[in-house]
Amino acid sequence: MPNIDPILISDLTLDYGGGDLVLDGLSLAVPAGSITALLGGNGAGKSTTLAALLGFARPRSGAITVCGIDPVMDPDLARRRMAYLPENVALYEHLTAMENAEYLLALSGERVPVAGIEDALAAAALQKRAWHQRLGGFSKGMRQKVAIAVALLREVPVLLLDEPTSGLDPRATADFNQLLIEVRARGAAVLMVTHDLLSAADIADRIAFLEAGRVAYEVAASGAERFDVRGLHARFQLTAERLAA
């Protein structure tokens, strides 16, 4: 089997039935063991890109695969290869962190011993005293840690994130970014939709700027040298001005 990127999108077009193209020739590849940040103005099509990967939005043309599986043809099989964290992670309020993890794993057909779940919650840096608390009082950062622990246990090769750090304080953002670095080290392909230029600059290997449903430009970090946040911001402004013109 050829070694293809876990996320591969080629010349994708998509509309929501109204005729206007929301994705208009989108091409993007995310290799294993890497983080790509997907940036772009409101309405550029970032969340729609995730919806297409998850098999929730049907392309009009082009090709899209997740670990070689077409999510249009076989959404269930494709979803088994992915973990998805929406902006606000949906978990069961009346269950504890442990119970949530157990239940979500059971839903995806996996049985993990309690010790394994505890290890994953610890790896996700959820404080031990929170493991047996109901989620009702959890902050957004704590909820994300539970969701990431489940993703770690599922050992999925693809992680999709929609604005994961919006509303997180700088400390929680740094903790979360550290988790993503660990997920990358395990070999996952991570695609992160974000408006958080600082996080993108800190942890992404590549940054793709989406503009009117296609990647207008893509930049890669070179070795130890990170992205320049002000440079990213300037590019963002240029895009906004071009679209407004």
Ligand X SMILES: Nc1ncnc2c1ncn2[C@@H]1O[C@H](COP(=O)(O)OP(=O)(O)OP(=O)(O)O)[C@@H](O)[C@H]1O
Using rule CB under 6 A, residue 42 touches ligand X: yes
Q: Which residue, 40 or 141, has its beta carbon nearer to ligand X? A: 40
Buried b (16+ CB within 10 A) or exposed e, 42-59: eebbbbbbbbbbbbebeb
Report the Cα 9 to chain-centroid distance in Å. 15
Q: Mark the segment that binds ligand X (CB under 6 A) among 45-53, 58-66, 150-158, 183-191.
A: 45-53
Question: Quick check: 46 binds ligand X (CB under 6 A)?
Answer: yes
- Least distance in Å: CB of 162 to ligand X? 8
User: Which DSSP helix (H) or strand (E) runs through 65?
Assistant: strand 61-66
CB atoms within 10 A of CB 208: 25
Tokens of 5: 């990127």
Q: What is the number of alpha carbons within 13 Å of residue 137 lying toward its C-beta?
A: 6
Choice from 10, 16, 220, 242 touching ligand X (CB under 6 A): 16
Residue among 59, 34, 72 at smallest CA distance from 185:
34
Indicate whether 191 belongs to the interface with ligand X (CB under 6 A): no
The single residue among 12, 21, 30, 44 that binds ligand X, judged by CB under 6 A, is 44
**Would you mind telling me the total number of residues written for the chain in this entry?**
245
Angle formed at CA 86 by CA 82 and CA 90, multiple of 5 degrees: 100
48 makes contact with ligand X (CB under 6 A): yes
Binding-residue total with ligand X (CB under 6 A): 10
- Quick one: 6 or 40, whose CB is closer to ligand X? 40
Of the ranges 39-47, 63-71, 175-183, 234-242, which one interacts with ligand X (CB under 6 A)?
A: 39-47
Does the protein bind ligand X through residue 22 (CB under 6 A)?
yes
Give the binding site for ligand X (CB under 6 A). Answer: 16, 22, 40, 42-48
